[in-house]
Amino acid sequence: MKRDFLRVFDLTQNEVSGILIRASELKSGVDKMKCPLIGKSIGLLFEKPSTRTRVSFDTGIYQMGGHPVYMTPQELQLGRGETIEDTARTLSRYLDAIVIRTSSHEKLIRFSEASTIPVINGLSDLHHPCQALADLLTIMEKKGKLKGLKIAYIGDGNNVANSLIEAAALTEMNITIACPEGYEPDGEVLERAREISSSEIVIVRDPKEAAGMAHVIYTDVWVSMGQEKQAEEKKRHFKGYQINSSLLQCARPDAIVMHCLPAHRGEEITDEVIDGTQSVVFDQAENRLHVQKALLEFLLQKKD
């Protein structure tokens, strides 16, 4: 039976743990010569530009013996009006799995419902689950555990925040989101996370309150792709939500700083912090490769 990964909650707590353990093994070089994707072709259907998602998947698929097939809607008949469902059914006959990066989570769901192969969310407007897996691996590496830690997420309650909330709920971490009114994470995500987990999931307005005694300080851009028309308005609302040295002093002395990248330096985070000794953003970026290799192995084993 095929499994999709459209949001973190598509996995169980034990499955997340297993993927993180496997990702650590792959990162360490265990099974370096093993090629679980040999003879398999993995589609990469991207509506949006990408650095980390595209290159990490492309490289990971190659390293595991598979063949990545990169596509944009303009290169397919999608660009000429073919339906999502017909595209999904057709690509399912050629590929073994597909990664989709899209502006619409609804499109992703429609594709997955018509597809007979595993579908992975490479980013949608509602969730960024592969990023969240890399975040968990990074925190586990730096802190030695996940359960009981406090994450302070400062900024827009966007797709990254939604997935981070789900990741925290499944691993029993506590998370405090500091955002202006009207920029909270998705309501359904918050409700479900609070239903299934004993984790503290809190929304506040004061970034310093959120950062207090945090083990992890996390942020993302204030203006996501497709929101350029709202840029000036959002920047006004998020004034005061920057991660800088003053805010970092509110957290634990050994707190780590995370950013999913790309960063708008001087806006949501300062150069001093992102380039500082507490920053782990490039370890975080590297870990996209390792968790996605483990995820592909997991999903394709389930399908087989």
- Identified catalytic residue from 220, 250, 284, 290: 220
State yes or no: is 93 an active-site residue: no
Instruction: Determine the pLDDT at residue 249.
Output: 97
State yes or no: is 288 an active-site residue: yes
Instruction: Determine the pLDDT at residue 183.
Output: 97
Give the up-direction half-sphere exposure of residue 3: CA atoms within 13 A in the CB hemisphere: 18
Residue 100: beta bridge partners? 45, 121
- Identified catalytic residue from 54, 96, 130, 131: 131
Instruction: Determine the pLDDT at residue 30.
Output: 82
Instruction: Determine the pLDDT at residue 224.
Output: 80
Q: If residue 298 lies in a helix (H) or strand (E), which one and from where to where? A: helix 281-303
- Identified catalytic residue from 130, 288, 290, 292: 288
State yes or no: is 101 an active-site residue: yes
Cα 58 to Cα 38, 44, 91, 225, 288, distances in angstroms: 14, 8, 18, 22, 11
Written as six digits, the tokens of 235 are: 């920047």
Whether the CB-CB separation of 24 and 50 falls below 8 Å is answered with: no
- Identified catalytic residue from 22, 54, 101, 215: 101
Instruction: Determine the pLDDT at residue 303.
Output: 67
Cα 265 to Cα 219, 259, 268, 272, distances in angstroms: 12, 11, 7, 10
Going by the DSSP 8-state scheme, the letter that residue 300 receives in this structure is: H
Whether the CB-CB separation of 118 and 63 falls below 8 Å is answered with: no
Q: What is the maximum span of the chain, computed from C-alpha positions, in angstroms?
A: 55
Whether the CB-CB separation of 65 and 32 falls below 8 Å is answered with: no
* Regions of the chain with pLDDT less than 70: 303-304
Whether the CB-CB separation of 254 and 276 falls below 8 Å is answered with: no
By the 10 Å C-beta count (0-12 exposed, 13-18 middle, 19+ buried), 194 is classed as middle
CA distance 43 to 275: 35
Instruction: Determine the pLDDT at residue 229.
Output: 73
- Identified catalytic residue from 128, 215, 259, 290: 128
State yes or no: is 128 an active-site residue: yes
pTM of this prediction? 0.96
- Identified catalytic residue from 242, 260, 284, 290: 260
Sign, CA dihedral 213-186-289-271, equals: negative
CA distance 253 to 233: 34
Instruction: Determine the pLDDT at residue 304.
Output: 66
Instruction: Determine the pLDDT at residue 34.
Output: 82
- Domains of the chain in start order, with CATH, are 8-128+288-303 (3.40.50.1370), 130-284 (3.40.50.1370)
State yes or no: is 236 an active-site residue: no
List, for residues 160-213, the tens digit of each pLDDT value: 999 999 999 999 999 999 999 999 999 999 999 999 999 999 999 999 999 999
Instruction: Determine the pLDDT at residue 246.
Output: 98
